[in-house]
Amino acid sequence: MAGYTNKLKLTLWVSVVYVLSFICYVPTLLEQSGIIIPNGLLYLKYLYVCIPAMAATFLLICEQNIKVYFTRMFSGKITIKYILIGVICMAAGILGSYCYSFIVKTDVFKNTYSTVISLLTSCIYLLITAFAEEIAWRGFLLERLPFKNIKSVLFVGAVWAAWHLPMWIIRNSLGMEQIVCLCIWTLLVSVVLGITYYQCRNILLIAIMHAAFNICYLAPIQYNIVVLATIIFVGTLLYKNQAKNYSLGNFLLVRELHMKKKMVLIGGLYKVQKGQSCFWIRISTNILA
C-alpha cells in the first residue's frame, strides 16, 4: 500500500511539474503567434527551472519530510575521488570543445564567453539553476524511486529530458534532429549525475558537475555525445575491472582465513577475525572446498 501511495504521489508530482513548467512558456508561445502579451507575463519563463524544486519542496512540507530529505541530500562527504570524477568530466568537455574549435577553425569559448565577466556571470547563473534542478531530479525524484539502480537513473533521465521539451521547442525553436540529440545527451548526463549521486550522496557536488556540463561542453551536441559516451564506457570498464579485482581479493582472503580456521559461520554469514578486528561476509561454501 505504501509503495502504491508513493507511486501515485510521484505520478502526480511529475504531472504537476510538466503542467506548471509548460504554463511558464505559454506567454512566450502566444507572443510568437503574434498575440500581444504584457511584458510582465513574459518573465514567467524564468520560473521554469524553479518549478520542479518548488513542487518537490511543497510535497515534502505536506508530508513533513523536508528536513529528512534535505539532510539526506547533503549527508555524504565530497572526497577526492568524486572531485576527480568531476574534474575528468570537465576536462573532457574543455578538450573536446578545443578539438572542435581547431578542426573547424573557430573559437567556441571566445564566441560563448567574450569576456571574463560574461564567463563568471554564466558560471554563477548556471550553478544556481543546476542546484535548483538537482534538488528536484536527483535529490527528490531519484531518491523516491524504490530501486537504486541504473533503471532508476535512466527513468529520471527520460523524465528530465521530457521536462526540457517546452524550453527546446518554444524558446530555442529547435528541430526534431536537435531535440533527439539533446534527449540522448540528457540521458547520458543523467547517468553520470545519478550514479555519482548514489555514490556520494551530496547534491552540491552533483549541482557543480551539472553546471560544468553546461559550461564546458560547447561543441555541437553530436560531438558532446561522443565525448561523454566515451567517458561512461571507459568508466564502466574500469569499474568492472576494479570490482572483479576486489571480489578476487576477498575470495583469496576468505579462503586463506578459512584454511587457518579464523572464520566462524553464523546464520549464513562468515565472521572473519583479522587482527584485533572482525568483519562479516557472505560467500558460497562450495568455493572453500
What tens digit of pLDDT does each residue of 139-193 get? 999 999 988 889 999 999 999 999 999 999 999 999 999 999 999 999 999 999 9
> How far is the C-alpha of 252 from the C-alpha of 247, rounded, in Å?
9
Q: What pLDDT shows up at residue 42?
A: 92
Query: What is the rounded average pLDDT for all residues in the chain?
Result: 86
State the pLDDT confidence band at 285, using cuts at 50, 70 and 90: very low
Q: Residue 255 pLDDT > 60, yes or no?
A: no
State the pLDDT confidence band at 238, using cuts at 50, 70 and 90: confident
- Please give, one letter per residue, the 3-state secondary structure of 143-191: HHCCCCCHHHHHHHHHHHHHHCHHHHHHHCCCCHHHHHHHHHHHHHHHH
pTM of the model: 0.82
**Closest Cα partner for 202 from 136, 138, 127?**
138
Q: What pLDDT shows up at residue 266?
A: 44
- Give the CB-side neighbour count of residue 60, counting CA atoms within 13 A: 21
Per-residue pLDDT averaged across 239-253, rounded?
63
> How far is the C-alpha of 63 from the C-alpha of 70, rounded, in Å?
13
- % of the chain at pLDDT higher than 70: 82
Among 72-76, 174-178, 202-206, 279-283, where is mean pLDDT lowest?
279-283
State the pLDDT confidence band at 2, using cuts at 50, 70 and 90: low
All residues at 6 or more sequence positions from 82 whose CB lies less than 8 Å from its CB, including other chains:
196, 199, 200, 202, 205
Extract the C-alpha cell encoding 245. 579485482
Domain ranges of the chain: 2-219
> How far is the C-alpha of 163 from the C-alpha of 199, rounded, in Å?
25
**Closest Cα partner for 81 from 233, 242, 223?**
242
Q: What pLDDT shows up at residue 129?
A: 96
More confident residue, 22 or 267: 22
What is the amino acid identity at position 23? I
Beta strands across the sheet bearing 263-266: 263-266, 269-274, 277-281
Instruction: Please write the tens of the pLDDT for every residue from 91-137.
Output: 999 999 999 999 999 889 889 998 999 999 999 999 999 999 999 99
**Closest Cα partner for 56 from 216, 163, 205?**
163
Q: What pLDDT shows up at residue 20?
A: 97
Q: What pLDDT shows up at residue 264?
A: 47
